[in-house]
């Protein structure tokens, strides 16, 4: 590697051979040349591992790790451990980025003297459409971390680590959890709060490539349970946090409770799955913890539904799971 790298880009790789070259090329061709590219293969069986090794031979900025576990969080944490740059970014191996992404993100961090910066993304759909979500003016804004986390808890901002650049020191005491596939939702808000202030660049540097066989599109009782746990963790976090006023807490709490209730409702699609019954029981145990909330802390629908699920489960199960499942199957 020529010179000292300024940004380490960590790419977890698992069976994305059809997309991997476009992803890695978009990093290699960045206008910021002082980058370190860490490809972390985790048990790929489709030739992705060999593609990673080929880049190792052709670009001195590339490092490759081969792990014996298919887990994106484990891969990211392994990349963090060997990263040598003061700043770290993450990219999923089936996505790609604009040529000037890291040059502009790094410039914003230096100009505004912050520890993190985030930008927009666009979605490239399977039907060829590209979807944008912000005006994309290119303007940079300095924001309080508290305000960013509030919007993130209500899913007004994305919870992906991939559209952001972080000071490496943020990972000294907190890394990605390895027990949940929605790992970003457990830690991203905590990294952001540790920054105090953060910069947003209103520009879509990151291209999220939609693919039907992506793990993100797999709907299973396990993934629904994981999402529920991630949202519930956020509920507990805001309950213990002293940063928000009563109205903000009310808005965040109700959004997250509705999200948990909606995810719980989706489990009726898997009633014949033995694991689903175990997950449903665990969700109900989590809901019991919310019964301490008063009518002033939840909207009426959430307040009533929680009590029905906890106290009148046999009847609720019959009406909202068994009977509605039969009705839906007829249409």
Measured CA distances, 142 to 66, 108, 109, 196, 199 (Å): 38, 9, 10, 11, 4
Structure tokens at 292: 């301490």
Say yes or no to pLDDT of 186 above 70. yes
pLDDT digits (tens, 9 = 90+) for 44-102: 999 999 999 999 999 999 999 999 999 999 999 999 999 999 999 999 999 999 999 99
Model confidence at 1: pLDDT above 50: no
Q: Which residue has the tokens 């939840």?
A: 298
Residue 269: its pLDDT value, please? 86
Predicted local distance difference test score (pLDDT) of residue 320 = 79
pLDDT range class, residue 29, cuts 50, 70, 90: very high
User: 40: pLDDT confidence band, cut at 50, 70 and 90?
Assistant: very high
> Model confidence over 305-325: pLDDT tens digits?
999 999 999 888 888 777 765
Indicate the average pLDDT of the chain: 94
Q: Given this model, what pLDDT does residue 219 score?
A: 81
Q: What is the pLDDT of residues 105-123, one digit of tens each?
A: 999 999 999 999 999 999 9
The residue with greater pLDDT, 271 or 56, is 56
pLDDT in tens, 201-232: 999 999 999 987 665 556 899 999 999 999 99
Residue 260 has pLDDT above 90, yes or no: yes
The per-residue pLDDT for 281 is: 95
Q: Summarize the confidence of residues 180-209 as an average pLDDT.
A: 96
Question: How many percent of the chain have pLDDT more than 90?
Answer: 87
Q: pTM score, two decimals?
A: 0.93
Q: Name the superfamily (CATH) of residues 7-212.
A: Spore Coat Polysaccharide Biosynthesis Protein SpsA; Chain A (3.90.550.10)
Domain locations in the chain as residue ranges: 7-212, 219-330
Number of H helices, E strands in the chain: 12, 10
Q: What is the 3-state secondary structure (H, E, C) of 95-119?
A: CEECCCHHHHHHHHHHHHCCCEEEE
Write the CB contacts of 253 (distance below 8 Å, at least 6 apart in sequence): 235, 238, 239, 293, 297, 298
Torsion, Cα of 101, 107, 111, 112 (10° steps): 30
């Amino acid at each position: 590697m020529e010179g000292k790298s300024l940004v380490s880009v960590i790419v977890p790789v698992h069976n994305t051979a059809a997309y991997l070259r476009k992803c890695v090329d978009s990093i290699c061709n960045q206008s910021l040349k002082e980058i370190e590219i860490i490809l972390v293969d985790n048990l790929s069986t489709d030739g992705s591992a060999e593609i990673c090794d080929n880049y190792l031979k052709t670009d001195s900025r590339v490092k490759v790790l081969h792990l014996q576990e298919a887990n994106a969080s484990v891969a990211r944490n392994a990349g963090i451990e060997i990263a040598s740059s003061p700043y770290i970014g993450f990219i999923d191996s089936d996505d790609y980025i604009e040529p000037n992404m890291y040059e502009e993100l790094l410039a914003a961090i230096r100009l505004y003297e912050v520890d993190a910066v985030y930008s927009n993304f666009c979605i490239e759909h399977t039907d060829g459409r590209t979807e944008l979500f912000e005006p994309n003016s290119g303007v940079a804004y300095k924001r309080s971390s508290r305000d960013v986390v509030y919007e993130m808890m209500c899913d007004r901002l994305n919870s992906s680590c991939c559209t952001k650049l972080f000071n490496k020191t943020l990972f000294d005491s907190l890394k990605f959890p390895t027990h949940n596939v929605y790992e970003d939702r457990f830690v991203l808000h905590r990294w952001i709060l540790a920054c105090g202030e953060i910069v947003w660049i209103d520009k879509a540097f990151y291209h999220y490539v939609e693919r039907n066989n992506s793990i993100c599109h797999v709907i299973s009782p396990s993934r629904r349970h994981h999402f529920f746990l991630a949202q519930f963790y956020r509920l507990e976090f805001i309950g213990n946090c002293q940063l928000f006023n009563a109205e903000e807490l009310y808005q965040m709490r109700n959004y997250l409770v509705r999200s948990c209730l909606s995810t719980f409702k989706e489990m009726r699609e898997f009633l014949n799955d033995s694991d689903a019954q175990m997950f449903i029981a665990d969700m109900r145990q989590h809901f019991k913890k919310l019964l301490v909330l008063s009518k002033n802390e939840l909207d009426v629908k959430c307040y009533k539904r929680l009590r029905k699920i906890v106290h009148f489960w046999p009847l609720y199960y019959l009406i909202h799971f068994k009977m509605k499942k039969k009705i839906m199957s007829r249409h």
